[in-house]
Amino acid sequence: MADKASIHVFTIEKTITVSHFPEQKTLVGDWESLCTGQFREALQRAAAEARLLGTKSWIADLTRDPGVPAQEDLRWVETFDVGNALSKGVTACINIHRASVLARMGARRWTKSASEQGMLTYDCASLEEALELAAQVASGKAA
């Protein structure tokens, strides 16, 4: 994911690397594993960084087949994390999937909850497509 247009924000070993794309006003989380004890920490830290950086979207890169979060973590996303992200100014969640059926199924649950709570949600196949969507969100042109 390293790109000259991105700035490294933080890494939690064996869990996630988060980068900021200032032009698109987005954070990208390159997930290595969604099934770790640091799952919630990663999302809370990303939301705090999003607020500081003024980002409008969160891109979850799931292309490394990171598995799915524990059921209790999925419930936490639905009951706390989506509202927390919205309160920090993040209005869209964009998931990048390739061939992973498991990652797509896991993301379907949290994007349904996020949509019901007023967050824009998208699924796409590449970082380039996700960054285009993020730029539309940042400019207010996304639907």
- Taking only Cα atoms into account, the Rg of the chain, rounded to an integer number of angstroms, comes to 13
Residue 2 lies in a domain: no
Domain count, the chain: 1
Residue 116's domain comprises: 7-139
Q: Across 22-87, where does the E strand assignment appear?
A: 26-31, 57-61
Residue 116 lies in a domain: yes
**CATH number, residue 15:** 3.30.750.24
Residue 102: pLDDT above 60? Answer: no
Residue 75 lies in a domain: yes
Residue 27 lies in a domain: yes
pLDDT tens, 103-138? Answer: 556 566 677 778 888 899 999 999 999 999 999 999
Ramachandran class of 10: left when φ > 0, alpha when ψ lies in -120 to 50, beta otherwise = beta
Most trustworthy range by pLDDT among 32-36, 65-69, 115-119: 32-36
Give the three-state DSSP class for 96.
Answer: strand
Token output for 101: 């059926």
Kindly report the three-state secondary structure assignment for every residue of 33-64.
Answer: CCCCCCHHHHHHHHHHHHHHHCCCEEEEECCC
Residue 1: pLDDT above 70? Answer: no
Residue 1 lies in a domain: no
Q: What is the mean pLDDT of the chain?
A: 89
Residue 100: pLDDT above 60? Answer: no
